[in-house]
C-alpha cells in the first residue's frame, strides 16, 4: 500500500469517491501541492508521514510533501528558507523562534484569518495566547510541556525511601540514600540548566510573581529571594542530594540520559520536561523503573512556579499561496480524529482538547504521560514567565555564576550577590 504506484492509484480511486462525498467542498478543485517541514525522531517521522497519507486520501486534490530532518541544523535551514522566501507552507517551530522570525507578529501568516478552517475552540486561552504577538495569531501549540520531578523507583525502593514530595524531603533524601546505598547514589541529578529551572520554581512559589520583569528589565524579586538559588545549590550538594559539579564532570560531557549513573540508577532522579521524559526512560538499564513524584510546594504557595509552555508549534508561511489548504492540513493534524490518531503521542501530549479526549478514549494515554498530565492539571499554574528568562544570554549568566559556585571559585555569599547584580545588568542590556 505504501509503494508510490499503488498510492497514486489509491488517491485516484479516492478522488472518484470523493467527488460524490459530502465532506469535500463542492465546486471545481484545482490540484494543489503543499510543503510541510518538521524535525523529529523516528516515531515522529513515521506518524507524520502516515497522517499526511490519510490527509491526501481525504482531500485528493491536495498533495503534501513532507520535508523532515533531525533537530540538528533545522533552525539554520529554516532561517535560510525564510530569508530566501522559500519556506514551506506549514512549518513546525519552537516557541521562542517566534521572537526570531516574527518580532512584530507579522512574520507568519495570521491564523485569525483562517478561523473557518481551524477549530480554535479546542484550545484554552492561555495556550492560544502563547502563539500571539501584537494581536496576530502566529502559531498554534502542538503540545504544552513543563518540568516535573521524575525519580527512579527501583533505586528508591532499594534505599527504602519514599519518593520526595516536598523540598524538605528532597534535601533529606541525600544523606539517607548515601547511608543506605553508598557514595555513588544521589536522589536527583541535573545540569546547571535543570537546576536553574528548579530553583526558579521554588523562588516563584515564594514570591508568587514571574522571575523576570520585562517592563522594568530586571529581576522581579528581592536580593534575598534570588539568594535562595545559591543557598539551594549549596544545600543540595552539601547534603549529597545533587551530585556536585566535580562529580558530574567526572563522567564527561555526555547527554544526561546517556550518563552511566543515570542508566544504572545511581543518579535516581531528574527535573525534566514532561515532553522529553521518554528519552530518559528509554536509555535506562532493563529493570529500572521511573515514576512521577508529586510536585513539591511551599506551604501556602499560590503558584507552583512551573514554566508551562508549548513544546513545539505549527505556523503557516506568511507568503503561502494556499492558505486555506494549509489551514485544512493544520486542522486535520491537530483537531481531526483521523489525523489525531495517526499523529498519536509522537509529539507529546497534544494541547487540543479533542485530541486529548480521542487519545484517552483510545487508551493511548498511559503511564508517565497520563500521570504527568494529571499532575499538571492539579497544580496551580497562573504565573506567566517572560520569554526573556529563556534568552541564551540570561541563561548563560545564571549558569556562569552557579558554575563558579559549583567549582568553588566563589562562595555562596558572593554568588547570591552576583546573581542579583549580574543578572539585573544582563536583563537591562538584552531586553528590547
Which residues in this chain contact another protein in the complex, by CB under 8 A?
2, 35, 37, 39-46, 49, 65-73, 76-77, 80-81, 83-86, 88, 254, 257-260, 263-264, 275-276, 278-280, 282-286, 311, 347-348
* Contact (CB, 8 A) for 385 and 210: yes
Long-range interactions of 114-118: CB distance < 8 A, separation 24+: 114/316, 114/323, 114/324, 114/327, 117/324, 117/327, 117/328, 117/330, 117/331, 118/327, 118/330, 118/331, 118/335
Beta carbon nearer to another protein, 78 or 340: 78
Residue with cell 501530549: 349
Separation of alpha carbons 353 and 361, rounded Å: 12
* Contact (CB, 8 A) for 59 and 328: yes
How near is the Cβ of 23 to another protein at its closest, in Å?
Answer: 27
Dihedral angle, C-alpha 210, 212, 217, 220, nearest 10 °:
60
How near is the Cβ of 274 to another protein at its closest, in Å?
Answer: 10
Beta carbon nearer to another protein, 257 or 352: 257
Separation of alpha carbons 334 and 55, rounded Å: 12
What does each C-alpha distance from 125 to 111, 121, 132, 139, 350 come to in angstroms? Answer: 15, 9, 11, 13, 15
How near is the Cβ of 40 to another protein at its closest, in Å?
Answer: 5
Q: Which grid cell is 242?
A: 545533587
Beta carbon nearer to another protein, 278 or 400: 278
How near is the Cβ of 14 to another protein at its closest, in Å?
Answer: 19
How near is the Cβ of 255 to another protein at its closest, in Å?
Answer: 9
How near is the Cβ of 112 to another protein at its closest, in Å?
Answer: 28
Amino acid at each position: 500500500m505504501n509503494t508510490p504506484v499503488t498510492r497514486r492509484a489509491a488517491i485516484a480511486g479516492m478522488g472518484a469517491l470523493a467527488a460524490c462525498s459530502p465532506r469535500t467542498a463542492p465546486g471545481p478543485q484545482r490540484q494543489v501541492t503543499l510543503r510541510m517541514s518538521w524535525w523529529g525522531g523516528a516515531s515522529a517521522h513515521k506518524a507524520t508521514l502516515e497522517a499526511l497519507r490519510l490527509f491526501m486520501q481525504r482531500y485528493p486534490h491536495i498533495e503534501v510533501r513532507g520535508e523532515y530532518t533531525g533537530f540538528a541544523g533545522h533552525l539554520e535551514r529554516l532561517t535560510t528558507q525564510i530569508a530566501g522566501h522559500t519556506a514551506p507552507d506549514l512549518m513546525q517551530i519552537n516557541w521562542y523562534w517566534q521572537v526570531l522570525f516574527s518580532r512584530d507578529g507579522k512574520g507568519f501568516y495570521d491564523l485569525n484569518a483562517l478561523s473557518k478552517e481551524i477549530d480554535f475552540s479546542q484550545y484554552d486561552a492561555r495556550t492560544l495566547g502563547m502563539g500571539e504577538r501584537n494581536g496576530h495569531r502566529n502559531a498554534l501549540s502542538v503540545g504544552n510541556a513543563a518540568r516535573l520531578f521524575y525519580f527512579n523507583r527501583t533505586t528508591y525502593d532499594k534505599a527504602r525511601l519514599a519518593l520526595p514530595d516536598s523540598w524538605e524531603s528532597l534535601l533529606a533524601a541525600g544523606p539517607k540514600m548515601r547511608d543506605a546505598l553508598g557514595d555513588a547514589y544521589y536522589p536527583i541529578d541535573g545540569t546547571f540548566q535543570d537546576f536553574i529551572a528548579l530553583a526558579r520554581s521554588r523562588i516563584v512559589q515564594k514570591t508568587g510573581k514571574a522571575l523576570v520583569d520585562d517592563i522594568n528589565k530586571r529581576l522581579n524579586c528581592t536580593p534575598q529571594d534570588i539568594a535562595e538559588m545559591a543557598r539551594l545549590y549549596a544545600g543540595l550538594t552539601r547534603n549529597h542530594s545533587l551530585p556536585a559539579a566535580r562529580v558530574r564532570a567526572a563522567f564527561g560531557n555526555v547527554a544526561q540520559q546517556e550518563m552511566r549513573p543515570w542508566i544504572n540508577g545511581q543518579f535516581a532522579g531528574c527535573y525534566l520536561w514532561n515532553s522529553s521524559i521518554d528519552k530518559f526512560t528509554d536509555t535506562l538499564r532493563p529493570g529500572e523503573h521511573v515514576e512521577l513524584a508529586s510536585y513539591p510546594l511551599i506551604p501556602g504557595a499560590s503558584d507552583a512556579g512551573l514554566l508551562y509552555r508549548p513544546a513545539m508549534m505549527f505556523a503557516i508561511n506568511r507568503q503561502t499561496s494556499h492558505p486555506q489548504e494549509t489551514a485544512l492540513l493544520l486542522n486535520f493534524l491537530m483537531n481531526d480524529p483521523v489525523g489525531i490518531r495517526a499523529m498519536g503521542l509522537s509529539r507529546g501530549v497534544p494541547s487540543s482538547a479533542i485530541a486529548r479526549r480521542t487519545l484517552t478514549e483510545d487508551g493511548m494515554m498511559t503511564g508517565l504521560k497520563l500521570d504527568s498530565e494529571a499532575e499538571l492539571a492539579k497544580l496551580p499554574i497562573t504565573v506567566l514567565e517572560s520569554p526573556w528568562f529563556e534568552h541564551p544570554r540570561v541563561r548563560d549568566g545564571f549558569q556562569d555564576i552557579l558554575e563558579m559556585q559549583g567549582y568553588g571559585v566563589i562562595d555562596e555569599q558572593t554568588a547570591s550577590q552576583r546573581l542579583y547584580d549580574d543578572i539585573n545588568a544582563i536583563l537591562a542590556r538584552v531586553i528590547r
